[in-house]
């Protein structure tokens, strides 16, 4: 099909401009020819490329994307508006201004670990929102991630996606589906529908953003693709010494060949990227060289024994994040003990849960002097860690955080929302508020507006 020209009409849409001409589809900025139909957001028209040997593949991808996008909601995907049929296929979607990660890589920006972590966390949050709706992207790569001006991520191109409640048209074709450089090992052996495959792909993206190279190259043969079933990539710090150990630890965790050894959910990955000081760095994070020849040879010999990890099931959901809000002022030992008991009960009923222990300090609580402020934060962190260490039931991963805000409830709500917290354990204490008549406002405000379950504890 020839490119549509500006001003041309196509299926009720006026073409404004050609945005991109790809191998699978053409993208256009458009308007509804009938102004009364125009939605309150700008439109993009995606028209599959037909007239080649790839017609069948393109049409299957079109039908998959049409079904998936029509079912998705949220700020991390374009809004669906309209679609054509098999005879005249097209998708009319929300046009979102921004820059793809592919464009960012082409600009070759100077390495900045903090900025990279912020971008990675944004993509991980977008993936988590997708996974919560029962969808795996299955083709995550830099070209399919758009960054808005505010830094949030939007996921694009769902032609290879898997939806738990829809027929798997791609899987029915029994073909390898994904982009070679970013595809996960289990996808290579035919497994679809594992959210951890998207986490692997994000690990490849983070590796590329950190080093400028790909961990497994871009193989074009089946034998080349199967190397990632056993081969360990060169650690990012071996390519770029400026990569901090915590970032390498995160990236290599994402790139584990066995899905069960990666992050159990995109929310946990986003949590670590947002809190690098709390990442537990082991030998892997400090490694500068790839595994030795002997170790790689042993892994190569065992390549035929690769078995994909069992798929997550509804009966075994990803480990949740349990947040405990621990007051640092006007709190009795009874409240601290009651919070500890509630945390222990919550961890006991949520195997593998991550514990986030949080306290909030008002900006005016200490002098503006940097040394005094740092000293207070260190004291508060020490107190939080002592409280965590005293729990009878420890979490597999526990982190401590001191937040600075004048509105305690809002700070706790913002933290819970940004980190996809599943449960908040909150004490009925003042959290530094002096007026007794305001004591109830923190737990009430949190309970009313929390994005998750809230447990209120009284001493």
Catalogue the active-site residues.
139
The CA distance from 173 to 184, in Å, is 19
Select from 410, 389, 416 the least CA-distant residue to 322. Answer: 416
The CA distance from 152 to 126, in Å, is 8
Angle, vertex CA 128, rays to CA 321 and CA 186, nearest 5: 105
The tokens describing 350, both together, are: 């949520």
Q: Are 194 and 136 within 8 A, CB to CB?
A: yes
Q: Are 62 and 154 within 8 A, CB to CB?
A: no
Q: Is the C-alpha dihedral spanning 152, 158, 161, 166 positive or negative? A: positive
* Pairing mode, strands 91-94 and 80-83: antiparallel
Name 166's Cβ contacts closer than 8 Å, sequence gap at least 6: 67, 68, 71
The CA distance from 47 to 354, in Å, is 44
Q: Is the C-alpha dihedral spanning 200, 198, 58, 31 positive or negative? A: negative
The CA distance from 397 to 137, in Å, is 27
Please state, in angstroms and as integers, the Cα–Cα distance from residue 65 to each residue in 32, 78, 79, 179, following that order: 21, 12, 12, 16
Name 125's Cβ contacts closer than 8 Å, sequence gap at least 6: 76, 152, 153, 266, 267, 270, 420
Ramachandran angles phi, psi of 386, nearest 5°: -65, -40
């Amino acid at each position: 099909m020839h490119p549509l020209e500006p001003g041309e009409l196509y299926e009720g849409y006026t073409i404004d401009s050609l945005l991109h001409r790809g191998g699978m589809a053409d993208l256009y900025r458009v308007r509804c020819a009938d102004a009364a139909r125009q939605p309150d957001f700008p439109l993009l028209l995606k028209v599959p490329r037909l007239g080649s040997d790839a017609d069948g593949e393109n049409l299957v991808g079109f039908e998959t994307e049409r079904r998936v996008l029509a079912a998705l909601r949220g700020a991390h995907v374009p809004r669906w508006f309209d679609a054509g049929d098999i005879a005249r296929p097209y998708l009319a979607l929300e046009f979102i201004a921004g820059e793809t990660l592919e464009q960012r890589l082409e600009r070759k920006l100077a390495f900045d670990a903090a900025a990279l972590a912020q971008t990675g966390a944004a993509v991980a949050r977008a993936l988590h929102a997708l996974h919560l709706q029962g969808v795996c992207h299955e083709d995550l790569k830099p070209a399919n991630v758009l960054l808005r001006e505010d830094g949030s991520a939007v996921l694009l191109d769902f032609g290879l996606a898997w939806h738990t409640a829809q027929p798997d048209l791609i899987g029915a074709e029994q073909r390898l589906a994904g982009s070679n450089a970013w595809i996960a090992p289990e996808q290579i052996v035919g497994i679809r529908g594992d959210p951890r495959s998207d986490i692997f792909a994000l690990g490849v993206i983070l590796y590329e953003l950190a080093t400028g190279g790909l961990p497994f190259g871009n193989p074009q043969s089946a034998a080349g693709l199967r190397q990632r079933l056993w081969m360990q990539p060169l650690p990012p710090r071996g390519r770029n010494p400026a990569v901090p150990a915590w970032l390498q630890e995160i990236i290599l965790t994402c790139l584990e060949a066995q899905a069960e050894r990666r992050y159990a959910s995109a929310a946990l990955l986003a949590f670590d990227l947002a809190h690098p000081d709390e990442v537990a760095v082991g030998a892997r994070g400090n490694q500068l060289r790839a595994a030795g020849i002997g170790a790689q040879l042993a892994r190569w010999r065992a390549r035929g024994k690769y078995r994909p990890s069992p798929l997550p099931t509804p009966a075994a959901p990803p480990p949740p994040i349990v947040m405990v809000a621990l007051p640092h002022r006007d709190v009795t030992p009874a409240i601290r003990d009651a919070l500890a008991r509630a945390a222990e009960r919550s961890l006991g009923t949520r195997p593998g849960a991550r514990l986030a222990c949080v306290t909030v300090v008002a900006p005016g609580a200490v002098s503006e002097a940097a040394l005094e402020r740092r000293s207070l934060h260190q004291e508060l962190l020490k107190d939080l860690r002592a409280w965590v260490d005293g729990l009878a039931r420890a979490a597999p991963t526990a982190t401590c955080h001191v937040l600075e805000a004048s509105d305690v409830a809002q700070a706790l709500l913002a933290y819970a929302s940004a980190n996809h917290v599943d449960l908040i354990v909150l004490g009925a204490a003042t959290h530094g508020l002096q007026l007794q008549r305001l004591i109830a406002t923190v737990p009430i405000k949190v309970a009313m507006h929390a994005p998750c379950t809230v447990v209120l504890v009284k001493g």
